[in-house]
Amino acid sequence: MSDVKKVVLAYSGGLDTSVILKWLQDEYQCEVVTFTADIGQGEELEPAREKARKFGVKEIFIDDLREEFVRDFVFPMFRANTIYEGEYLLGTSIARPLIAKRLIEIARETGADAISHGATGKGNDQVRFELGAYALNPEIKIIAPWREWDLLSREKLLAYAEKHGIPVEMKHKAGGSPYSMDANLLHISYEGRHLEDPAAEPEEDMWRWTVSPEKAPDAPEYIELEYEHGDPVALNGKRLSPATMLAELNRLGGKHGIGRLDLVENRYVGMKSRGCYETPGGTIMLRAHRAIESVTLDREVAHLKDDLMPRYASLIYNGYWWAPEREALQVLIDHTQATVNGWVRVKLYKGNVSVVGRDSKTDSLFDPTIATFEDDKGAYNQADAGGFIKLNALRMRIAAKRKHR
């Protein structure tokens, strides 16, 4: 069918990518290398190895990328306080550039001339994977089966699997989820089934990480996060690695019903899509990071970051992590974080994260001698405010005079 000799497949071992593996072997008559990324999805990955071996795959990569994922992708994104369309913490989006990076690395290591993925032609992930891959290797060939084959329904996929002896785990018959899910250390997403009706409330038994706020503990829990250069480095006085930090915040947030989201979002390809998300640890990190910035960032720097954040969020959502404009923004964002050092205390209670304290011994810009409502002993001359206000009102005063002529 083509001159492709070897292809690296992003492989989960599920129905779609198991069918893709066999389809690539049959349609392209090529050798397939499988790559499975452990980014904290919480699933056993060895079955993917066994399924790949069954179909003659000789080069199988199962990589633990959890620390790299949080350190080099999640944390930089959270330094910008990134949210898409006011709500979404980009849990799926931020994992794709790492997977694309590793696909290209493995292609180089194994001498493959193509990569392949299981993203459909309707979604954002095809864009994210492929923009990342082209940015890292402009000559790479990309095979996207969903844009080539006619297996465009679950029934056709199952029929193909049965015909070719591909084992299929019917998860929804074994206590699993009937939804289309994506999970990593930052979040779980749910799509499909009755969520395709935006008027339908999510079923309570859909959620995996979080208890409902109604069933969360009746007593609040206080935790303290320590920050260095904009990243959380210690929890309740104990230093943790990035991946361990996020995993523990997920546990604590999930226990208190924190981080659920039901969202209709605008996909890059043009359609609206309804999804539900659980991001307990990320919800805590966002609130805590803004709190430590509130005492350590200059006002105009903080406002500039807020102005730039929606653009930065769209770049990540749309797949431009490796684009020069995202990298340029990251340099600016990281520069602002040099003084974001200190601690934040938050209260977790029935779905809410409340900041109850924050301070920095080395970089706080909060001056109590000036901000006090008591006698400031001349630290701030209130009479100066009159001229400040009058100058700032000058253009409005001139305009008002013109109106009343």
The alpha-helical segments, DSSP class H, found in 256-393 are 280-296, 299-317, 324-336, 368-371, 384-392
Instruction: Given the residues 12, 16, 274, 326, select the one marked as catalytic.
Output: 16
* 125 counts as catalytic: yes
Instruction: Given the residues 12, 79, 93, 96, select the one marked as catalytic.
Output: 96
The alpha carbon dihedral of 304, 305, 310, 315 has a sign of positive
* 182 counts as catalytic: no
* 96 counts as catalytic: yes
Residue of 22, 266, 295 whose CA lies nearest to 167: 22
Q: What is the C-alpha separation between 229 and 379, in angstroms, rounded?
A: 30
Note whether 4 and 110 are within 8 A (CB): no
- Nearest 5°: CA angle at 48, between 46 and 49? 65
- Nearest 5°: CA angle at 164, between 159 and 165? 100
Q: What is the C-alpha separation between 132 and 54, in angstroms, rounded?
A: 30
Residue of 88, 332, 303, 313 whose CA lies nearest to 230: 332
The alpha carbon dihedral of 174, 177, 181, 287 has a sign of negative
Instruction: Given the residues 12, 79, 125, 326, select the one marked as catalytic.
Output: 125
* 16 counts as catalytic: yes
Q: What is the DSSP letter of 225?
A: E
Instruction: Given the residues 180, 273, 294, 364, select the one marked as catalytic.
Output: 180
Which residues are annotated as catalytic?
A: 16, 96, 125, 180
